């Protein structure tokens, strides 16, 4: 994990026509990066992968990260049109439904989340849980398009980390979530239920086929041996030249072996078994019981 313990905000300015302003907001507890993607002309914006803070020791939630993002929205005079997630996160809880309530914006995720929900209904033995069609306003398919103000966005299906991960491409900005890490860190894991190292390789190759000047914004950073500050932006050209896992000249079979060997050493994220139950409800807790409290269900000896 990064040594940095405080949130960090950085602005990546629009480069011109059809290019968004992007703010990245680093959440230090989980190493997550939350994004604001905005049309500089109309001031319309999308919020991407915003965190609802969750303490895995006490199972308490708070909205400090979400409030920080909304404060930035207000500071820059933006209007939120979309609340977007790239996939159901295993290492943090999404603020999707809370942002929808606060902003009135449409919330969305990829359509293959229906299949992910099916997997996790079995793990939790909750056959009637996770109505994603109810809890998300829009479920995107590969190739779908939509707009933020005057900017067009299209959706790439990018499976591997999960079977339903998607990438949002807006002009010269692409939000590539848990596919790539920063070039000095490589790529993300592919060993969660429904994940696939080969699919991840193929998804990354599609992302690296975007124009070389495209700014790629990753989902996490934990620093490295050479730096203790988080970074989350690099161009396609930088990844092709420098990414320690997938730079130009990397053999697919070598990558798969490297990634699978690495994944075999990783434990479950400490929030995972709680987070999936919440994220497959768009960030909502299960319905309260007769005492007014909410309860999560934890499988024992399944992982």
pLDDT at 1 (0 to 100): 45
How many domains does one find in the chain?
A: 1
Instruction: List, for residues 39-88, the tens digit of each pLDDT value.
Output: 999 999 999 999 999 999 999 999 999 999 999 999 999 999 999 999 99
3: pLDDT strictly greater than 70: no
Domain containing 181 — which CATH number? 3.60.15.10
Provide mean pLDDT across the span 163-168: 97
Q: How far apart are CA 212 and CA 43, in angstroms?
A: 26
Task: Look over the chain and give the mean of its residue pLDDT values, rounded to a whole number.
Answer: 96
Instruction: List, for residues 91-108, the tens digit of each pLDDT value.
Output: 999 999 999 999 999 999
**pTM value?**
0.96
Alpha carbon 267 to chain centroid distance? 19
Q: Would residue 69 count as lying in a domain?
A: yes
Provide mean pLDDT across the span 23-33: 96
Alpha helices by DSSP H, the chain: 64-75, 96-103, 113-124, 132-135, 197-207, 236-242, 252-263, 272-279
- The pLDDT-based confidence of 259 (bands split at 50, 70, 90) is very high
Query: For the chain, what percent of residues have pLDDT higher than 70?
Result: 99
Q: E strand or H helix at 15, and its extent?
A: none
- The pLDDT-based confidence of 269 (bands split at 50, 70, 90) is very high
Strand order in the sheet with 44-48: 8-12, 21-27, 32-38, 44-48, 79-84, 106-110, 138-140
The three-state DSSP-derived secondary structure of 177-229 is ECCECCCCCCECCCCCCCCCHHHHHHHHHHHCCCCCCCEEEECECCCECCECC
pLDDT at 4 (0 to 100): 65
Q: Would residue 303 count as lying in a domain?
A: no
Instruction: List, for residues 109-154, the tens digit of each pLDDT value.
Output: 999 999 999 999 999 999 999 999 999 999 999 999 999 999 999 9
Q: How far apart are CA 277 and CA 12, in angstroms?
A: 33
Q: Would residue 294 count as lying in a domain?
A: no
- Which residues, in sequence order, are bridge partners of residue 292? none
Strands 60-62 and 173-177: unpaired
Q: Would residue 187 count as lying in a domain?
A: yes
- Which residues, in sequence order, are bridge partners of residue 46? 37, 82
pLDDT at 253 (0 to 100): 97
Q: Would residue 300 count as lying in a domain?
A: no
Least confident interval from 150-154, 224-228, 258-262: 224-228
How far apart, in Å, are the Cα atoms of 262 and each of 68, 87, 222, 245? Answer: 34, 22, 16, 11
Sign of CA dihedral 94, 32, 235, 239: negative
- Domain membership of residue 38 as a residue range: 8-277
Maximum CA extent, the chain? 60
Question: Which tokens is 21 given?
Answer: 């302003």
Q: Would residue 295 count as lying in a domain?
A: no
303: pLDDT strictly greater than 90: no
Provide mean pLDDT across the span 227-240: 94
Provide mean pLDDT across the span 196-201: 97
Q: Would residue 27 count as lying in a domain?
A: yes
Strand order in the sheet with 233-235: 145-148, 151-157, 166-170, 173-177, 215-218, 233-235
Question: Which tokens is 292 given?
Answer: 């007014």
Closest CA to 235 of 159, 183, 170: 183
Q: Would residue 226 count as lying in a domain?
A: yes
167: pLDDT strictly greater than 90: yes
Q: Which residues contact 72 (CB under 8 A, 6 or more apart)?
A: 9, 23, 25, 36
């Amino acid at each position: 994990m990064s040594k940095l313990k405080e949130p960090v905000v950085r602005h990546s300015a629009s480069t011109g026509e059809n290019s968004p302003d992007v703010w990245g907001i680093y959440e230090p507890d989980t190493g997550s990066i939350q994004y604001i993607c905005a049309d500089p002309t109309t001031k319309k914006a999308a919020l991407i992968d915003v965190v609802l803070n969750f303490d895995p020791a006490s199972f308490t939630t708070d909205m400090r990260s979400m409030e920080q993002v909304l404060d930035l929205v207000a500071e820059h005079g933006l209007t939120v049109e979309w609340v977007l997630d790239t996939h159901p996160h295993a290492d943090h809880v999404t603020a999707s439904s809370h942002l929808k309530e606060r902003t009135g914006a449409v919330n969305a995720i990829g359509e293959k989340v229906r299949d992910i929900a099916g997997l996790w209904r079995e793990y939790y033995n909750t056959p009637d849980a996770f109505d994603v069609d109810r809890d998300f306003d829009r479920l995107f398919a590969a190739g779908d398009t939509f707009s933020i103000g005057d900017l067009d966005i299209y959706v790439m299906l990018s499976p591997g980390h999960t079977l339903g991960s998607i990438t949002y491409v807006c002009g010269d900005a692409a939000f590539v979530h848990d596919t790539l890490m920063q070039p000095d860190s490589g790529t993300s894991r592919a060993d969660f239920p429904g994940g696939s190292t080969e699919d991840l390789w193929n998804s990354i190759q599609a992302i690296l086929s975007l124009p070389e000047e495209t700014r790629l914004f990753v989902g996490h950073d934990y620093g490295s041996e050479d730096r203790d500050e988080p970074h989350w932006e690099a161009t396609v050209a930088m990844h092709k030249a420098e990414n320690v896992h997938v730079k130009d000249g990397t053999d697919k079979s070598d990558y798969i072996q490297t990634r699978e060997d690495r994944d075999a050493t990783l434990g479950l994220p400490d929030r995972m078994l709680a987070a999936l139950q919440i994220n497959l409800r768009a960030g909502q807790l299960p319905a309260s019981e007769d005492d007014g409290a909410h309860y999560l269900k934890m499988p024992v000896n399944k992982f």
